[in-house]
């Protein structure tokens, strides 16, 4: 199985500043055309919410404050400027092969 390692495990960012979350895959999840990496936001008591698909494509209805980048084995989720409502845990997930696996999560706190 592909292992996804997220960092940091938690971070605190001041209101209006930038949050950067990294996800490293144990093998490449990209072709020359697509990167099979998704990002989710999860708040307590709620299911995950898809934010970004194919590494950098914003899901419909997701604010443009969220952006994704990367290819191969290294991917990044950026949130700028952060808002109070962004307090949540964020997960990366690959869809390169079965089984798709998730990163361990990054808990974001807004200062």
Edge-to-edge order in the sheet of strand 57-58: 10-13, 106-110, 88-94, 37-42, 49-53, 57-58
In the complex with another protein, which residue's Cβ is closer, 13 or 92? 92
Output the smallest distance, CB 57 to another protein, in A.
11
Q: Which of 105, 106, 108, 110 binds another protein (CB under 8 A)?
A: 105
Q: Which of 33, 47, 64, 84 binds another protein (CB under 8 A)?
A: 47
36 touches another protein by CB under 8 A: no
* Distance, C-alpha 83 to centroid of its chain: 16
In the complex with another protein, which residue's Cβ is closer, 4 or 19? 4
- The CA distances from residue 89 to 33, 56, 57, 73, in Å, are 29, 19, 20, 21
Q: Which of 36, 103, 106, 108 binds another protein (CB under 8 A)?
A: 103
Q: Which of 73, 77, 91, 108 binds another protein (CB under 8 A)?
A: 91
DSSP state of 28: -
Query: DSSP characters for 70-95?
Result: EETTEEEEEESS--GGG-EEEEEEE-
In the complex with another protein, which residue's Cβ is closer, 32 or 46? 46
């Amino acid at each position: 199985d592909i292992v996804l390692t997220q960092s940091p495990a938690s971070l605190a960012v001041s209101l209006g500043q930038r949050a950067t979350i990294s996800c490293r895959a144990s093998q490449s999840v990209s072709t020359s055309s697509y990167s099979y990496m998704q990002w989710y936001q999860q708040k307590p008591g709620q299911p995950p919410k898809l934010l970004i698909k194919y590494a950098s494509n914003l899901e419909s209805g997701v604010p443009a404050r969220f952006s994704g980048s990367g290819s191969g084995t290294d991917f990044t989720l950026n949130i700028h400027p952060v808002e109070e409502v962004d307090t949540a845990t964020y997960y990366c997930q690959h869809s390169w092969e079965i089984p798709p696996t998730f990163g361990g999560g990054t808990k974001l706190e807004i200062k």
